[in-house]
Amino acid sequence: MVKKGLIKQHVVSTLVENRAGTLSRVSGLFSRRGFNIDSLTVGETDNPSISRMTIAVTGEERILEQIIKQLEKLVDVIAVKELDGSSCLRREIMLVKIGVDEKNRPAILEIAGIFRARVVDVSQKTITVEATGNMEKLNGLLILLRPYGILELARTGLVALERGTDVLSIK
């Protein structure tokens, strides 16, 4: 009998060369191993030739360890680290457009205020709210807004950095 490992969400932070094809090679390692990428964000660092990839995936620990080892062997990869949930800052940005009328507008504005979300666009029939925070906060906001009618939703995906003095740096 083969014992399966615990399936949980993992966050992997990777510094990579900022060039064509890097994203495809990195994401391909996850898909070939059967990991669904829950969130993937990529952006330049303070050095324009280097990008940071933040990848949130759900799967078994032992398979993730293999993927990290394979990532470290890729030519475009500079550094890789799994970020522990208790020792890193995780944020996401969400834009949500809600259908409004004169009756429900005050309630929507109140909900946005409770979650420290900013109203970034208003029309007679819609309000668009921008919220920043961890996944739980954004999901909580959505639960309260859903009964009013979400017309559109866009999320950036997860970005994460370690707390304190720990940094992901060039090998």
Structural domains for the chain: 7-88 (3.30.70.260), 89-159 (3.30.70.1150)
| pLDDT tens per residue across span 34-91 | 777 888 999 999 999 999 999 988 878 887 888 888 889 888 999 999 998 778 899 9
The answer on pLDDT for 115 being more than 90 is: yes
> Helices (H) and strands (E) in the chain — how many of each?
4, 9
What's the rounded mean pLDDT across residues 12-25?
Answer: 92
Enumerate residues 6+ apart whose C-beta is below 8 A from 8: 58, 61
Tokens of 41: 């964000």
Q: What pLDDT does 2 receive? A: 46
Per-residue pLDDT tens for 122-137? Answer: 999 999 999 999 989 9
- pLDDT per residue as tens digits for the range 137-160: 999 999 999 999 999 999 998 999
